[in-house]
Amino acid sequence: MAQPIDFYFDFSSPYGYFMSEKIDGVAAGFNRKVRWHPILLGVVYAVSEGKPLVDLPLKGDYARRDMARTARFHGIDFHPPTPFPIATQAAARAYYWLHDQDCTLARQFAHAAYRAYFQRGQNISDPAQVVAVAQTLGVDGAALAAALQTDPVKARLKTACADAIAKGVFGSPYVVIDGEAFWGVDRLPQIERWLDTGRF
Amino acid sequence: MAQPIDFYFDFSSPYGYFMSEKIDGVAAGFNRKVRWHPILLGVVYAVSEGKPLVDLPLKGDYARRDMARTARFHGIDFHPPTPFPIATQAAARAYYWLHDQDCTLARQFAHAAYRAYFQRGQNISDPAQVVAVAQTLGVDGAALAAALQTDPVKARLKTACADAIAKGVFGSPYVVIDGEAFWGVDRLPQIERWLDTGRF
């Protein structure tokens, strides 16, 4: 069995959201599984000198158009949310807390959180909204709300971000296949060829 | 007849080089012409707060791999040159000087200059190398060398950069089709769909 693919993303990243709607299906076509790793772009950008796209002169205006067009190109439901971007500690911590109990549920939560924000504008920077999303999947809301405040859950996300930086992750989405890194949903054609042919 | 497509690029941009090998053919498939506009990324970056990719922490290492892989993906001959990036005033000025005399020759020169740098490592930041490239196309080398020093030729490039910035150009390659902007050679699939279907 081939190694799983690693998929790094921030819950506030539109291109990460687009990739989240595609990567499992693409991987399955080549009998590959995907490990999901939510991270905080703010932490990564402190190392890689990145900035939120929409804050950049000229590029920000382009990015807003490109996000919407890229969603249409891929046939993905996308409604630019406000506020944007947002802090995603709560969503990422919830993901890891769920993952340590039930990895399938964690994957469902990740999809639900991304769709809540990018399809319906639900502000998942608010821990209460994160809990509400999880509750739609049958999660115990009080237990999750309490867990989000605990040091081990906070430490879990810190470790995940540090691990990602150590592996060279500098943006979202960032996909690693057998040691080869692909940044951006626009690398899907190269990802598919890599999975199909191996190194090219 | 539909409007021509506008293609902005810096002669030191690998992704611009890849686009230069593709855009005329893609456009021709939809009965469209392309206007080429060499610009200076340094001038553009002063406005858009851009930086050369390879200077960025983490992203620089990725970019070097991605450039080579993207060339292989598209089947384009590419040998990462040293030094890189380089100043491209001389090449861009030569392009506009040639274009004002013979637009077909200017296009041939642009291909020749890009290939000289990215296939054979010829340092086209040196005006003598630019002249040498042009001479392979039958251009009068002495006339070109003299022209590169003149104020009108320098002003021509300055105007081209200012025009590009005014149109929102912030990177290379940057393609505009009927007012819609596409940044990066990775937008080729979207460019093809846009040309095929119109707005999507």
Q: How far apart are CA B160 and CA B40, in angstroms?
A: 9
Q: How far apart are CA B21 and CA A21, in angstroms?
A: 32
* CATH code of the domain containing A60: 3.40.30.10
B72–chain A Cβ distance below 8 A for any pair: yes
Please report which confidence band the pLDDT of residue B59 belongs to, taking 50, 70 and 90 as the band edges. confident
Please report which confidence band the pLDDT of residue B56 belongs to, taking 50, 70 and 90 as the band edges. confident
What are the Cα distances from residue B77, in Å, to A122, A200, B69, B72? 47, 14, 11, 8
pLDDT value of residue B57: 77
Q: A193: nearest CA in chain B?
A: B73
Tokens representing A99 are 């993952």
B54–chain A Cβ distance below 8 A for any pair: no
pLDDT in tens, A41-90: 999 888 877 777 777 878 888 999 999 999 999 999 999 999 999 999 99
pLDDT in tens, B121-148: 999 999 999 999 999 999 999 999 999 9
Mutate to test the interface with A, among B62, B73, B178 (most CBs of A within 10 A): B62
> At B8, which helix (H) or strand (E)?
strand B5-9
Q: A200: nearest CA in chain B?
A: B72
A127–chain B Cβ distance below 8 A for any pair: no
* Other beta carbons within 10 Å of B28: 11
What interface predicted TM-score (ipTM) does this complex get?
Answer: 0.93
Parallel, antiparallel, or unpaired for β A5-9 and A174-177? Answer: antiparallel
Please give the average per-residue pLDDT across B69-91, as a whole number. Answer: 97
pTM over 0.90: yes
Of the candidates A48, A51, A166, the residue with the CA atom closest to the CA atom of residue B57 = A48
CA atoms within a 13 Å half-sphere pointing along the CA-CB vector of B91: 30
Maximum Cα–Cα distance across chain B: 50
Tokens representing B93 are 């000025």
Which residues of chain A have a pLDDT value below 70?
Answer: 1
Tokens representing A37 are 């790793």
Count of structural domains within chain B: 1
Q: Answer for the pair A119, A111: CB distance below 8 angstroms, yes or no.
A: no
User: Residue holding tokens 């497509």?
Assistant: B5
Q: Give the strands of the sheet with B180-183, arranged side by side.
A: B34-38, B5-9, B174-177, B180-183
Radius of gyration of chain B from Cα atoms? 16
Of the candidates A1, A12, A61, A22, the residue with the CA atom closest to the CA atom of residue A182 = A22
**Rounded to the nearest 10 degrees, what angle do helices A59-74 and B188-197 cross at?**
70
Q: A174: nearest CA in chain B?
A: B62
Of the candidates B71, B76, B81, B100, the residue with the CA atom closest to the CA atom of residue B160 = B100
Task: Find the DSSP H helices in chain A.
Answer: 14-20, 23-28, 41-48, 59-74, 89-99, 103-120, 127-135, 141-147, 151-166, 188-197
Please report which confidence band the pLDDT of residue B60 belongs to, taking 50, 70 and 90 as the band edges. confident
Q: Answer for the pair B155, B93: CB distance below 8 angstroms, yes or no.
A: no
Which member of A57, A73, A200 has the closest CB to residue B72? Answer: A200
Q: With the CA atoms of B12, B17, B19 and B20 taken in that order, what torsion angle do they form, in degrees rounded to the nearest 10?
A: 110
pLDDT value of residue A58: 80
pLDDT value of residue B1: 62
The residue segments making up the domain with residue B145 are 5-197
Beta partners for B176?
B6, B181
